[in-house]
Copies of this chain bind each other. A is one copy, B any other.
Amino acid sequence: MKRHKFSCKKKYKILISNDDGIFSQGIFALVNELKKIGEVVVVAPDKQQSAVGHAITMNYPIRAIPYNFDGNINGFAVDGTPADCVKLAIKYLLSEIPDIIVSGINHGSNTAISVIYSGTVSAATEGTILGIPSIAISLATFGTCDFTYAAKFSREITKLVLKNKLPEGTLLNINIPPISESEIKGVKITRQGKSLWDDTFDIRKDPSNKEYFWLTGNLKILDKDEDVDVDEIAVLNKYISITPIQYDLTDYKMFKKLKKWKIKK
């Protein structure tokens, strides 16, 4: 397969991925804005991969199919997860390391507990693990939506990240309200709010009368401080939410306490 060669003519080399799939509206909107500030290449799943978390494909092979955006943007559709896409892009499909990885624009918010289920965030996490500045961007609505402003903001924050740099091991998780630019009040730096999915399973029967289960549920917010990322607080109040994310999961408070348990072999 022919690997992508950046032309070196444009200022920035930008890799775009997502979890909604390469055919999604949000990735097109992102490509169209980011190509204004750099050379864009897209490596994204060939189908919906929402809520795959940080899954990677080890037990099966994956494939990549060349895919053209507007005839002049190179893309590859991969039959894997968002993390697979980023790994394959960096390790094989691109001839050079990009300056930044932008994942999105997701259709639906990725805030609070959803961050750990999110494929959008996971593509950016994988980029960060590989040492590349990475950001995840979501439009906070599951309804019909207009990506215009979200894409424009994505362009500006991409420029800012390229200029200011991110600390090693840190990515930005950005959620944008689904309203027009004039309605947006500003930007809030947030922390990941506490919440859980109050799941239920819809119990159905197949034509052979056998039961199957379909996950459904509502996000239950457990944390309503004003600095949290949860939609009810930041996004529904018309602020763009930006949460810096890292992936050292150690609970350092408990790390100290656990030593007092004096656990024996």
Chain A residues within CB distance 8 Å of chain B: 1, 48, 50-59, 61-64, 81, 83-84, 87-88, 91-92, 113, 115-117, 122, 125, 129-131, 153, 156-157, 160, 164, 166-167, 169-170, 172, 181, 184-187, 189, 191-192, 194, 196-197, 199-201, 203-204, 210-215, 240, 242-255, 257-259, 261, 263-265
With A187-B265, A212-B62, A248-B191 as known contacts, state yes or no: A203 contacts B54, CB within 8 Å: no
Query: A250 touching B51 by the CB < 8 A rule?
Result: no
Q: Give which listed residue, B116, B169, B259, contacts A54 with CB less than 8 A.
A: B116
Number of copies: 2
Query: B265 touching A130 by the CB < 8 A rule?
Result: no
Query: B116 touching A213 by the CB < 8 A rule?
Result: no
Describe A's contact surface by its main secondary structure: mixed
Query: B214 touching A61 by the CB < 8 A rule?
Result: yes
Query: B253 touching A63 by the CB < 8 A rule?
Result: no
Nearest-Cβ distance from residue A232 to partner chain B, whole angstroms: 18
Docked pose: A169 CA to B199 CA in angstroms: 18
**Which chain B positions have C-beta within 8 A of A164?**
261
